[in-house]
Amino acid sequence: MIRELKVKSIAAIATALLICAGVSGSAQMSTFAAKEAQSAADGQGDEDMDMSSYRERLGEIAKEQAEIDKQLDEAQENLDKEAEIQKTLSKKINSVNEEIKVSENYIDDLDKKIASQQELVEKTGAEITQGVKDFKGRLRAMYLAGSEGYTDIILSSGDFFDVLMRTELVKRVADHDKNELDRLVALKSDYEQQKEELDAKQEEYKEQLDSLSDKKNTLDELYKQSLAAQEDTEELKEKLEKQNKILSSEKSSYADKLSEFLNDDYGDSADETGRMKTELAAAKKLRELWTATPSADDKKTDEKTESKGSCAYVFGWPCPSTKTVTSGVGPRWGTTHKGLDIGAEMGSEIVASEGGKVVISCNDCTHNYGKDGSCGCGGGYGNYVVIDHGNGFLTLYGHLTEAKVKVGDKVDKGELIGISGTTGWSTGPHLHFELRYGGNYMNPLSFVTY
């Protein structure tokens, strides 16, 4: 009941202003006003129909970018994994290289030791060979001399002293032969043992070196595979980033086309006259919508069954922290101010005035400080959000520090959509809030309840 009275008062005021302005025919209406008059009669806004293709494509782009972002996150995660794998493999390879280096140094030292001992062994072998040869010579001589050889030596002595000397000589020769034979046998046994041990050690460390080389080759192959996987992932990531860039360009193009529905003025018509005409059409549309849908009070009992982003067309205040309006709709600084400036402090929560679907979400502006002119970001709005509530109604929230929603998101009335700031053409922290019908700006105070 209250909202119907409010719309009736809007219509009455608008009609009075139109009469005072002397509006009497279509020649004094803007192009939009003429179309709106026809659409009001039809009960359907052509502008809403025209915008649908842009909204739908922006929603599709948002989904595609979300999928690409997911794949990019996965690619980055894979890159991080490969980097960690390579880091671990590098450590293992360095460790194996160190082992190989130590083993190679040990084998080099062992080879030198073996070479040195081999030289001694060969010398000993030569000594054994010569000793055996000499011993064989003596045995041959003794054999040729017969068993009486020693006796002949003793009997051929000149006196007893000579006998003793010759007997001692024979004994010593015999002892020498025996000791020499024992020494040669022991030397041969020691030679064979040392040679066997050296050969075994050399074989053992060569096997160890071969094992380490195989291990290193395996690690090198794994490292190459990891590098190849990293290159493939980098290539995929680059491809995804290119796709994302193309989609961003298309998104920007569609957003620009959609923003064209945010008409700057009323063409040939005076702004005030055009605005009143739009507000009359909007009021009529709201009456139709409220008649066709349950009232807000009726819907309270069925809130749980409402779909996300449903709109009752009862627009609420977008800044819970303050109701202060610092600048209204109308002439300002030689231009027309198309919305309300609400004195929101930096960092204040900004909420959706009504349920709907996000059709524009700009988060590109980094110039979050007061300025005398526009930084050019977001067409002067800086970071901003536009919500389509259907049936030709849009709301815009400008100069945000950050937009908390993205294109395609469905939002409910009162849901957080951004944080206030001073991006774009803004002299200080505040929220710029617009309510539009058919792309044309209106005075939000005529429709918003708070």
pLDDT digits (tens, 9 = 90+) for 84-111: 877 787 777 777 777 777 777 777 777 7
CATH number at residue 121: 1.10.287
Identity of the residue numbered 142: M
The answer to the question of residue 208 being in a domain is yes
CA-based end-to-end distance of the chain: 16
* Mean pLDDT calculated for residue range 431-444: 92
The answer to the question of residue 281 being in a domain is no
Computed over every residue of the chain, the mean pLDDT equals: 74
The answer to the question of residue 262 being in a domain is no
Lowest mean pLDDT among 242-246, 251-255, 346-350, 357-361: 251-255
- pLDDT exceeding 70 applies to what percent of the chain? 66
Q: Which residue has the higher pLDDT, 207 or 142?
A: 207
234 falls in which pLDDT band (50, 70, 90)?
confident
Lowest mean pLDDT among 45-49, 228-232, 397-401: 45-49
Quick check: 1 pLDDT over 90? no
- State the pTM of this model: 0.51
The answer to the question of residue 293 being in a domain is no
Q: Can you read off the two tokens belonging to residue 243?
A: 């796709």
Tell me, what's the pLDDT at 169?
A: 64
Tell me, what's the pLDDT at 38?
A: 40
Tell me, what's the pLDDT at 15?
A: 42
Tell me, what's the pLDDT at 212?
A: 74
Q: Is 179 exposed, middle or buried (CB count within 10 Å of its CB: 0-12, 13-18, 19+)?
A: exposed
The answer to the question of residue 394 being in a domain is no
The answer to the question of residue 94 being in a domain is yes
* Mean pLDDT calculated for residue range 183-197: 76
Q: How many domains does the chain have?
A: 1
Closest CA to 390 of 45, 35, 141: 45
* Mean pLDDT calculated for residue range 265-272: 61
Helix (H) or strand (E) holding 436: strand 431-437
Alpha-carbon dihedral sign for residues 389, 390, 396, 401: positive
Quick check: 28 pLDDT over 70? no
The residues near 236 (Cβ < 8 Å, ≥ 6 apart) are: 71, 75
The answer to the question of residue 29 being in a domain is no
The answer to the question of residue 391 being in a domain is no
18 falls in which pLDDT band (50, 70, 90)?
very low
Q: Which domain holds residue 144?
A: 77-256
Tell me, what's the pLDDT at 389?
A: 95
204 falls in which pLDDT band (50, 70, 90)?
confident
Q: Which long-range contacts (CB under 8 A, 24 or more apart) does 6-15 make?
A: 6/447, 6/449, 7/283, 7/286, 7/287, 8/283, 10/279, 10/280, 10/283, 10/446, 10/447, 11/280, 11/283, 11/284, 13/276, 13/446, 14/276, 14/277, 14/279, 14/280, 14/283, 15/280
- pLDDT exceeding 90 applies to what percent of the chain? 24
386 falls in which pLDDT band (50, 70, 90)?
very high
C-alpha dist (Å) from residue 373 to 333, 337, 364, 368, 369: 12, 15, 18, 13, 11
